[in-house]
């Protein structure tokens, strides 16, 4: 008889906390067949009632008294349930990305909360749309922007949930109350969540007549869904109607009795887009967003499971909605970095979606104006099918782009932040009453404070980063929030030449105010948008025409549709070109190309000014020409030459510890073991201090492993995790390990 083996088992995954596995003995006849993720039958409790459980781990050494352990009854032979599918997905994720199975399960299974029966409130229109627009016409558009927004929304849809009004529309409770008192609207209480169902208004009732390009795309998707089900990548310029294509393809999926998941980065999901989905799918569509409580989230999961929903829209975690028979997964803005999880398991939504589609026989559709290198490369290799949408819908034209060479400006004596081209165009806009958006693509990068006498840089005592000076004279750490007053003298040499060098959003705002004293300026960056509300509020105010110029970080260029914006200026377009990782160029291109797509979406033509010190760089040139192919070809050559993904795969082993030496020690041992075991099949780089070597007093050390074959990386990861387990009780300071496959942020 072979040695006894034991299994960690979680009971009834949908109902109980996942952090308490129970231990059971594995009977002789199951020793060879039982694996992680299997559903088993076990005796439970005093009465040994038989219950279902899931194996989350197998060991040789029990952690409890082995005589007291019960034995597993057998493997459950239930039909494939939704839980089983999710569990299989968790097992797959654990294997691919590393970490524990319990962690992976927490990611794929919704946590059940004690939920009080909840009343859902919605705003309902009480009067005719004519009366509403009459009332709105009487109001001062600047002072009462929120009230006007509310009136416009209820003219378009008769009933809207209060959370959408206060959330996406950013209308305060007080404004709602006022409108109720005026008798324009009333509040309805429902026992369940209701979606804004389009009223009689044609704007949202209309069904788009697809143009030739769009219908060809829909046909291709449906064809593939009936056939081989290769993933489809739509490369379509902004405004080409990708969303219309998704909606049509989803409608066909729903007609067949199957469900669809739509991933959209939350920041890019506008109220208008939301309403287009609601108009088509009525109360069979729902949205997951960060403002939902755990309980409300769970409610949506229950509705999906009970078959009350056909379509869910949400961020990457919407992948785990328990639909009975998902038939289509859409990933919009496929290139967005937010599709990669930054918590263990550090999964990428694109890959999990692929696996889920494989498991369910569903069709994957991805779309972007600037697809990621990974996705385009897969299309080139024939793993995905690429479809192009080349025309903007209707009359909307592509903007005219000017590249301003800031080196030339300086030579000609212009020392300001703004090129002559940009200054002239801003003036024109102010005269015509049109709007301008100005953005820099990083926050506070140049905001550090240093001593001009000795060169000392003011740094956060807990993190390996410089502090950033804010208008208030305070120095702030953007990683941990540590704040101090700016000292009058240099703490190092005592000189009084301690000064900030600022070229952040605040500085730009200041300069704009100086150059155009009459202009109304709004600023949007990490400081003005600490809360989600702040963010929506600024965008809504800008959309309502409350400012002439919006200054911000890259967050202002994502997915917003302002018809009156006819000028977009990128202030320091190449700032991110100097970033530390190989994605820097791709990010610069995609940001600039997306920004250019923002100008002139209405009937007015748009203009874009890109200010740069690298006017000849291919990412700048290609963005200016809105030429994705040109960028892709150049970047591909660079990636191939320097052995970066998508030509190879990378695995980052990230070691965290309060003690720097312990972290280095652990990382070094892992690197050595991997070199020895995997030899030439992988390239091991490191250990290195991370780019930011310390955050919140935790040191960060990283080892990179590179290989063309993902299997080798998986082996390296398993080896590193095994070493972690073995050395756990060595008495040293604790070191934790996170594994990151094809990281999008270098540590």
- What's the closest the beta carbon of residue 209 comes to ligand ADP, in angstroms? 5
Helix (H) / strand (E) containing 444: none
Instruction: Tell me the per-residue interface mask from 450 to 469 with Zn ion, x by CB under 5 A, - otherwise.
Output: -x-xx-x---x-xx------
Helix (H) / strand (E) containing 35: none
- What's the closest the beta carbon of residue 367 comes to ligand ADP, in angstroms? 7
The count of C-alpha atoms lying within 13 angstroms of the C-alpha of 701, restricted to the half-sphere facing its C-beta, is: 24
Under a CB-based contact definition with an 8 Å cutoff, are residues 52 and 19 in contact?
no
Is residue 236 a contact point for ligand ADP (CB under 6 A)? yes
> CA-to-CA distance for 8 and 6, rounded, in angstroms?
7
Q: What number of other Cβ atoms are within 10 A of residue 626's Cβ?
A: 20
Which of 242, 443, 598, 715 lies at the binding interface for ligand ADP (CB under 6 A)? 242
Site for ligand ADP in 137-176 (CB under 6 A): none
Site for ligand ADP in 426-485 (CB under 6 A): none
Is residue 638 a contact point for Zn ion (CB under 5 A)? no
Is residue 212 a contact point for ligand ADP (CB under 6 A)? no
508-541 burial code (b ≥16 CB/10 A, e <16): bbbbbeeebeebbbbbbbbbbbeeeeebbbbbbb
Strand partners, 695: 698
Q: What number of other Cβ atoms are within 10 A of residue 394's Cβ?
A: 10
Q: Of ligand ADP, Zn ion, none, which one sits near residue 239, judging by CB under 5 to 8 A according to partner kind? A: ligand ADP
> Whose CA is closest to 531, among 171, 293, 291, 265?
291
Is residue 201 a contact point for ligand ADP (CB under 6 A)? no
Is residue 214 a contact point for ligand ADP (CB under 6 A)? yes
Choices 13-21, 204-212, 336-344, 611-619 (CB under 6 A): range interacting with ligand ADP: 204-212
- What's the closest the beta carbon of residue 441 comes to Zn ion, in angstroms? 23
- What's the closest the beta carbon of residue 635 comes to ligand ADP, in angstroms? 23
The smaller minimum CB distance to Zn ion, of residues 387 and 451, is found at: 451
- What's the closest the beta carbon of residue 355 comes to Zn ion, in angstroms? 38
The smaller minimum CB distance to ligand ADP, of residues 4 and 561, is found at: 561
Q: Of Zn ion, ligand ADP, none, which one sits near residue 393, judging by CB under 5 to 8 A according to partner kind? A: ligand ADP
The smaller minimum CB distance to ligand ADP, of residues 29 and 209, is found at: 209
Q: Of Zn ion, ligand ADP, none, which one sits near residue 444, judging by CB under 5 to 8 A according to partner kind? A: none
Describe the crossing of helices 660-678 and 710-726 by its angle, rounded to 10 degrees: 130
Place of tokens 């200010």: 611
> CA-to-CA distance for 586 and 212, rounded, in angstroms?
31
The smaller minimum CB distance to ligand ADP, of residues 103 and 372, is found at: 372
In this structure, the dihedral spanned by the alpha carbons of residues 28, 29, 35 and 38, taken in order and rounded to 10 degrees, is -120
Q: How many residues bind Zn ion (CB under 5 A)?
A: 15
Q: Of ligand ADP, Zn ion, none, which one sits near residue 314, judging by CB under 5 to 8 A according to partner kind? A: none
Strand partners, 683: 706
Which of 34, 75, 208, 302 lies at the binding interface for ligand ADP (CB under 6 A)? 208
Describe the crossing of helices 271-281 and 242-255 by its angle, rounded to 10 degrees: 30
Helices vs strands, H then E, count in the chain: 22, 30
In this structure, the dihedral spanned by the alpha carbons of residues 488, 494, 496 and 502, taken in order and rounded to 10 degrees, is -70
Describe the crossing of helices 373-380 and 628-641 by its angle, rounded to 10 degrees: 90
Site for Zn ion in 489-548 (CB under 5 A): 490, 492-493, 495
The smaller minimum CB distance to ligand ADP, of residues 598 and 639, is found at: 598
Q: Of Zn ion, ligand ADP, none, which one sits near residue 210, judging by CB under 5 to 8 A according to partner kind? A: ligand ADP
Instruction: Tell me the per-residue interface mask from 434 to 453 with Zn ion, x by CB under 5 A, - otherwise.
Output: -----------------x-x
Helix (H) / strand (E) containing 499: strand 498-500
| Burial grade of 339 (CB within 10 A; 0-12, 13-18, 19 or more) | buried
Peptide bond into 646 cis (omega under 30): yes
Choices 39-47, 87-95, 239-247, 485-493 (CB under 6 A): range interacting with ligand ADP: 239-247
Is residue 240 a contact point for ligand ADP (CB under 6 A)? yes
> Whose CA is closest to 671, among 699, 702, 694?
702
Q: Of Zn ion, ligand ADP, none, which one sits near residue 490, judging by CB under 5 to 8 A according to partner kind? A: Zn ion
Is residue 372 a contact point for ligand ADP (CB under 6 A)? no
> CA-to-CA distance for 510 and 475, rounded, in angstroms?
18
- DSSP state, residue 413: T
The smaller minimum CB distance to Zn ion, of residues 270 and 453, is found at: 453
- What's the closest the beta carbon of residue 239 comes to ligand ADP, in angstroms? 4
CA distances from residue 519 to 269, 510, 512, 522, 667 in whole angstroms, order as listed: 29, 12, 8, 10, 55
| Burial grade of 733 (CB within 10 A; 0-12, 13-18, 19 or more) | middle
Which of 239, 326, 399, 743 lies at the binding interface for ligand ADP (CB under 6 A)? 239
Which of 29, 209, 616, 726 lies at the binding interface for ligand ADP (CB under 6 A)? 209
Which of 477, 522, 543, 719 lies at the binding interface for Zn ion (CB under 5 A)? 477
Site for Zn ion in 155-214 (CB under 5 A): none
The smaller minimum CB distance to ligand ADP, of residues 248 and 509, is found at: 248
The phi, psi pair for 57, rounded to 5°, reads -170, 150
The smaller minimum CB distance to ligand ADP, of residues 279 and 571, is found at: 279
The smaller minimum CB distance to Zn ion, of residues 398 and 477, is found at: 477
- What's the closest the beta carbon of residue 443 comes to Zn ion, in angstroms? 15
Choices 106-114, 203-211, 222-230, 337-345 (CB under 6 A): range interacting with ligand ADP: 203-211
- What's the closest the beta carbon of residue 152 comes to ligand ADP, in angstroms? 16
The smaller minimum CB distance to ligand ADP, of residues 554 and 621, is found at: 554
- SS3 sequence, 521-576? EEEECCCCCCCHHHHHHHHHHHHCCCCCEEEECHHHHCCCCCCCEEEEEECCCCHH
Is residue 211 a contact point for ligand ADP (CB under 6 A)? yes
CA-based end-to-end distance of the chain: 48
The smaller minimum CB distance to ligand ADP, of residues 178 and 211, is found at: 211
- What's the closest the beta carbon of residue 667 comes to Zn ion, in angstroms? 23
Site for ligand ADP in 392-411 (CB under 6 A): 393
Is the dihedral angle over the CA atoms 315, 316, 320, 324 positive or is it negative?
A: positive
Q: Of Zn ion, ligand ADP, none, which one sits near residue 480, judging by CB under 5 to 8 A according to partner kind? A: Zn ion
Q: Of Zn ion, ligand ADP, none, which one sits near residue 466, judging by CB under 5 to 8 A according to partner kind? A: none
- What tokens appear for 64 in the block? 């409890």
The smaller minimum CB distance to ligand ADP, of residues 242 and 523, is found at: 242
Is residue 203 a contact point for ligand ADP (CB under 6 A)? no
φ/ψ bin of 689: left (φ > 0), alpha (ψ from -120 to 50), beta (otherwise): beta
What is the C-alpha R_g of the chain?
A: 28
The smaller minimum CB distance to Zn ion, of residues 292 and 698, is found at: 698
Strand partners, 311: 260, 285
Which of 22, 393, 479, 647 lies at the binding interface for Zn ion (CB under 5 A)? 479
- What's the closest the beta carbon of residue 273 comes to ligand ADP, in angstroms? 7
Binding site for ligand ADP (CB under 6 A): 208-211, 214, 236, 238-244, 393
> Which residues bind to Zn ion, rule: CB under 5 A?
451, 453-454, 456, 460, 462-463, 477, 479-480, 482, 490, 492-493, 495
């Amino acid at each position: 008889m072979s040695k006894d083996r034991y299994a960690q088992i979680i009971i009834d995954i949908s109902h109980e906390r996942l952090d308490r596995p129970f231990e059971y003995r594995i009977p002789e006849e199951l020793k060879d067949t039982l694996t992680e993720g299997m559903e088993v039958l076990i005796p439970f409790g005093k009465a040994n009632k038989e219950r279902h459980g899931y194996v989350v781990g197998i060991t040789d050494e029990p952690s409890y008294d082995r005589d007291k352990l019960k034995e597993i009854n057998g493997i459950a032979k239930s039909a494939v349930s939704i839980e089983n599918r999710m569990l299989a997905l968790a097992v797959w994720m654990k294997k691919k990305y590393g970490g524990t199975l319990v962690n992976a399960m927490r990611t794929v299974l919704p946590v059940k909360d004690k939920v009080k029966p909840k009343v859902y409130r919605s705003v309902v229109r009480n009067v005719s749309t004519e009366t509403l627009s009459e009332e709105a016409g009487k109001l001062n558009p600047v002072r009462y922007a929120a009230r006007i927004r509310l009136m416009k929304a209820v003219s378009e849809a008769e009933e809207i949930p209060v959370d959408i009004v206060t959330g996406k529309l950013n209308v305060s409770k007080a404004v709602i109350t006022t409108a109720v008192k005026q008798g324009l609207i009333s509040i309805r209480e429902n026992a369940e969540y209701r979606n804004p169902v389009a009223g009689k208004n044609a704007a949202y009732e209309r069904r788009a007549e697809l143009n030739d390009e769009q219908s060809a795309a829909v046909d291709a998707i449906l064809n593939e869904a009936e056939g081989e089900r290769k993933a489809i990548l739509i490369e379509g310029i902004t405004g080409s109607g990708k969303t219309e294509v998704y909606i049509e393809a989803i409608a066909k999926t729903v007609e067949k009795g199957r469900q669809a998941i739509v991933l959209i980065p939350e920041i890019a999901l506008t109220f208008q887009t939301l309403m287009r989905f609601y108009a088509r799918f009525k109360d069979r569509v729902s949205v997951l967003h960060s403002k939902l409580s755990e309980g409300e989230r769970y409610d949506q999961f229950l509705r999906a499971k009970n078959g009350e929903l056909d379509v869910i829209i949400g961020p990457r975690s919407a992948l785990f909605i328990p639909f009975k028979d998902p038939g289509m997964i859409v990933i919009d803005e496929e290139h967005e970095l937010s599709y990669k999880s930054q918590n263990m398991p550090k999964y990428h939504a694109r890959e999990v979606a692929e696996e889920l589609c494989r498991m369910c026989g569903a069709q994957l559709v991805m779309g972007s104006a600037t697809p990621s290198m990974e996705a385009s490369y897969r299309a080139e290799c024939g793993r995905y099918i690429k479809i192009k949408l080349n025309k903007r819908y209707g009359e909307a034209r592509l903007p005219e782009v000017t590249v301003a060479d800031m080196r030339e400006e300086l030579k000609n004596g212009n020392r300001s932040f703004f090129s002559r081209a940009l200054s002239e165009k801003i003036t024109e806009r102010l005269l015509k009453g049109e709007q301008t958006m100005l953005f820099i693509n990083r926050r506070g990068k140049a905001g550090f404070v240093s001593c001009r006498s000795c060169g000392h840089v003011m740094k956060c005592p807990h993190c390996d980063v410089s502090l950033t000076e804010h208008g208030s004279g305070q120095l702030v750490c953007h990683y941990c929030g540590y704040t101090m007053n700016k000292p009058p003298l240099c703490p190092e040499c005592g000189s009084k030449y301690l000064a900030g060098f600022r070229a952040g959003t605040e500085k730009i705002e200041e300069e704009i105010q100086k150059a155009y004293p009459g202009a109304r300026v709004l600023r949007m960056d990490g400081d003005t948008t600490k809360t989600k509300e702040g963010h929506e509020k600024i965008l809504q105010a800008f959309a309502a025409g409350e400012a002439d110029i919006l200054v911000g970080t890259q967050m202002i260029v994502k997915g917003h549709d302002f018809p009156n914006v006819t000028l977009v200026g990128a202030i320091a377009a190449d700032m991110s070109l100097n970033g530390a990782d190989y994605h820097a160029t791709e990010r610069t291109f995609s940001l600039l190309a997306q920004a250019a797509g923002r100008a002139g979406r209405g009937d007015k033509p748009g203009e874009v000014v890109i200010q740069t010190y690298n006017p000849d760089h291919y990412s700048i040139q290609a963005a200016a020409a809105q030429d994705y192919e040109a960028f892709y070809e150049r970047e591909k050559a660079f990636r191939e030459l320097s052995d970066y993904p998508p030509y190879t795969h990378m695995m980052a082993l990230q070691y965290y510890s309060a003690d720097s030496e312990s972290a280095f020690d652990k990382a070094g041992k892992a690197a050595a073991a991997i070199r020895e075991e995997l030899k030439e099949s992988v390239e091991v780089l490191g250990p290195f201090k991370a780019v930011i070597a310390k955050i919140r007093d935790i040191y960060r050390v990283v080892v990179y492993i590179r290989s063309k074959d993902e299997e080798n990386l998986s082996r390296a990861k398993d080896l590193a995790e095994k070493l972690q387990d073995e050395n756990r009780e060595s008495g040293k300071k604790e070191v934790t390990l996170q594994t990151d496959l094809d990281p999008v942020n270098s540590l």
